[in-house]
Structure 1
Amino acid sequence: MSRGKYNSIFFYLFPLLFFFSCQKKEKTYIETIASNDVKLPKAQPGSWRYSHDEKFQTFEDFQRLKKIKPVPGKNVIYLQPVGEFDELQEKEIELTKEYLSKYFQLETKVLPVLSNTIFPKTVKRLSTEGQEQILAGYVLNSILIKRKPKDAVVFMGITEKDLFPKPEWNYVFGLASYEDGVGVTSMYRFSDGYLSDANFNESLERLMKISSHEIGHMFGVSHCLNANCVMNGTNSLSETDYHFARACSLCQQKLNSSLQYNPKKRLLDLKNFFEKQHLNSEFVRAEQDFSLLK
């Protein structure tokens, strides 16, 4: 082949090589939504971060962990109501089931209700405020762990009774065994002991946040120090309310590496759920993420 022919081939190839070399690498979903992460403010006295010196969990730290993962035949999230629930409380549990199925992109089921008669007198007490409380560890170890369905990756109890973890503590929102993939959450404090139409969405959002937070721990995600995120630690309901239901980009990266869902489908499912339930702040955040993908 003549030298002139080589030159002509190079003449045609060079623009193509230049074109491809100048193309920007397309951003991943995680890289794209990271610009919507909201930086955490300086920790204030009384907040979780102020009183807990926690290590930042990198993605590499997460990958090295031994943790629960859904596998074929063991990939369902179950909710186990324990108590006496009115119509609004039943609606809240049903909507939480719907939310968790969209948040984790896993099939989520609600089991038939267990009556409060399952609690012996030895695990009950009256609080200083006058309401009956149940020992959280009993619910976890003597009821839930023994009843975890064989196809459950996670098993979460929900009670309308207030919970306490030990005699010297006033109350606790919930308790979990991350190794067993089992936890329990109380609805009581989310509505100040009385759920109504007026406080329904506030209570629902709190239950959504606490449930997805605890299940996130079961899947190996530590307390988030990256941004305002549902995985931030919390000391109070006001702190829970301040944190987003949105998982930050780093925590989504961790979850997706284990659960292997379609992140765009997940975002659209959540956006539609927030819009339908008039959870306006969370809808706006989901819409902001979604707009970056267009």
Structure 2
Amino acid sequence: MSQGKSSFTPIIFYAIIFTFFSCQKKERTYFEAIALNDVKLSNPKPGSWRYDHDEKFQKFEDFQKVKKIKPETGKNIIYLQPIGEFSNLQKNEIKLTQEYLKIYFQLETKILPTLSNSIFPKSVRRIKDEHEQILAGYVLDSILIKRKPKDAVVLMGITEKDLFPRPEWNYVFGLASYENGVGVTSIYRFSNGSLTESNFNKSLIRLMKIGSHEIGHMFGISHCLNANCVMNGTNTLPETDFHYARACSLCQRKLNSSIPYGNKKRLLELKSFFEKHHLNSELSRAEQDLNLFQ
């Protein structure tokens, strides 16, 4: 009996050791860890983007097959092109957005010298609801594409004038040509036409969201149907406000496959940015991601 018992014990011991080390090797990836912080989407309500648009879920495998812009050596800088007459608060809003996009995409991001509104001919201006609007397509085709720096992966125009895409439309938050890597957004409606100290952070985070959303599209990421995410489609400012500035785990995985940055470094920098500028909801989400990852 004693011999049979002694010969059997080591087998159990080795089995336990093997199981232990096997489990140790199966640690969660960064994306698996932060997926626990993803907030699933509820059923769309009338008037929302998903209610009005029947879009296909873009899986990671689908994303890999998409033709898209990628940063490459000598062509890896994000440029912001201000166009208009900006107040000091608006200039600060653009500067902070530049800092944010640099962290979000982990790419060098620069602000070009401001262009005057005189660059818009009379033929692309109109008065709507007692304020001036600019034809968004003209900004892309006749200004940004022609001025895109050679080392730019993306050029994003920012105007203080309201934008419209075509005569029958009232307005648009922005417009982009993903193939050419150029886009434009207006800050006019982010602060109801008047940026003040009291609405500064609300306007800032809207610009941060719209800017990272449009550039995310240029890098091949479709509208997100996975979770509450900056890449969700949006019809209105309240819908934009409801969406997080945080990219969900799936959209982060897509972005990181095109831009090989360190996820922990990015997350720590985002946390620091949100903390410094008192963006408390996004700070809380960054801290939750860090806790899950660590």
Asked if Structure 1 and Structure 2 have the same fold, meaning a TM-score greater than 0.5 normalized by the shorter chain, the answer is yes
Amino acid at match of 1:116: N
Work out the percentage of aligned pairs sharing the same amino acid: 73
CA distance in 2, matches of 1:260, 1:168: 42
Q: CA deviation at 1:132?
A: 0.4
State yes or no: 1:214 paired with 2:214: yes
Amino acid at match of 1:31: E
Q: CA deviation at 1:18?
A: 4.5
CA distance in 1, matches of 2:265, 2:29: 15
Instruction: Pick closer, same or farther for the CA change 1:123–1:275 going to 2, 3 Å.
Output: same
Q: CA deviation at 1:293?
A: 2.0
Structure 1 segment 107-118 matched on structure 2, within 5 A: 107-118=108-119
CA distance in 2, matches of 1:198, 1:267: 28
CA distance in 2, matches of 1:113, 1:19: 60
CA distance in 1, matches of 2:93, 2:19: 57
Structure 2: gaps spanning 5 or more residues:
1-7
CA distance in 2, matches of 1:104, 1:256: 9
Structure 1 segment 1-294 matched on structure 2, within 5 A: 16-23=17-24, 25-127=26-128, 129-294=129-294
CA distance in 1, matches of 2:19, 2:290: 32
Amino acid at match of 1:96: T
C-alpha RMSD over aligned residues: 1.8
Instruction: Give the TM-score, by structure 1 length.
Output: 0.94
Amino acid at match of 2:201: N
Q: CA deviation at 1:17?
A: 3.5
CA distance in 1, matches of 2:137, 2:267: 35
CA distance in 1, matches of 2:79, 2:172: 21
- What's the CA shift string for 1:209-235, capped at 9, x where partnerless? 000000000000000000000000000
SS of equivalent residue, structure 2 residue 145: helix
CA distance in 2, matches of 1:36, 1:60: 22
Q: CA deviation at 1:133?
A: 0.3
SS of equivalent residue, structure 1 residue 106: coil
CA distance in 2, matches of 1:63, 1:285: 27
- What's the CA shift string for 1:61-80, capped at 9, x where partnerless? 00011110000100000000
Amino acid at match of 2:205: E
Q: CA deviation at 1:292?
A: 1.1
SS of equivalent residue, structure 1 residue 67: coil
Q: CA deviation at 1:23?
A: 3.2
CA distance in 2, matches of 1:215, 1:228: 18
Q: CA deviation at 1:291?
A: 1.1
SS of equivalent residue, structure 1 residue 84: coil
CA distance in 1, matches of 2:22, 2:153: 45
Runs of 4+ residues deviating >2 angstroms: 9-24
CA distance in 2, matches of 1:289, 1:87: 34
Instruction: Give the TM-score, by structure 2 length.
Output: 0.94
Kindly tell me the number of residue pairs found equivalent between the two proteins: 288
CA distance in 2, matches of 1:98, 1:37: 25
Q: CA deviation at 1:10?
A: 8.4
The match for 2:3 is none
Q: CA deviation at 1:206?
A: 0.2
Q: CA deviation at 1:22?
A: 4.4
Instruction: Pick closer, same or farther for the CA change 1:160–1:16 going to 2, 3 Å.
Output: same
